[in-house]
Amino acid sequence: KASVTVFYGDYFLDQTGSSSTPEGSNPSSESRISNPNCPPENSWANDSSNDVAVLHLTVQPGGTLTIPKAHEPNVKRTLYLIEGYSDGVQVQGTECDEPLMLTLDSSELVDVVCPPSARGASEFLLLQGKPISEPVAQHGPFVMNTQAEIRQAFSDYRATQFGGWPWPRDDMVFARNKGRFSLLYGKETVPAQDFSIPETSDAGDS
């Protein structure tokens, strides 16, 4: 009735490190199991004491999933409801009826319940970890640690466009029905299944 995809973190894993086992009534095991999706060696996430985790939770109608306590203290944990928000799904007894972000107490177990009457599964994204506690400077699309780094980012962008802009205009716009595509080294490719938007006539057309 429930499953978890572990992008990173040692939660909901069996002894092989796999997250394919359904977790409808997951045991409250505190065992620490290594995760095959290893982060960069010198990253914040690579230090297990920072307890970083990225999980995709799916709860089917009639299912319950218990999110375990964090392994470490002072961990910030955020839960995003991304699908199935109109079917009465509950988090800790509170019904959620719209896409939302919840800040959870990582020192407590949290129950996620999808009622039997739901028309489909509810899906969540869970992000957690200890705060990095670094200064933050932000301007436009750039986020750095200091204003000096922001100025350098703008300078770098003006000089190189971070690798180059392949289109003839800065404000390039494509036809609405073109669909998804990428352009790399002059070669245009499209997904195996194209999701093009059909053209529609104006309201005044007959």
The pLDDT, as a whole number, for residue 51 is 96
Domains and CATH numbers, the chain: 2-129 (2.60.120.1030)
The whole-angstrom separation of Cα 125 and Cα 4 is 10
Say if pTM beats, i.e. exceeds, 0.85: no
Residue 145, pLDDT above cutoff 80: yes
The whole-angstrom separation of Cα 186 and Cα 179 is 18
The whole-angstrom separation of Cα 35 and Cα 71 is 14
Residue-wise pLDDT for 170-185, tens only, equals: 788 888 788 888 877 7
- Among 56, 74, 54, which Cα is nearest to 65's? 56
Distance spanning both ends of the chain, measured CA to CA: 49
Residue-wise pLDDT for 23-45, tens only, equals: 433 443 333 444 556 788 889 99
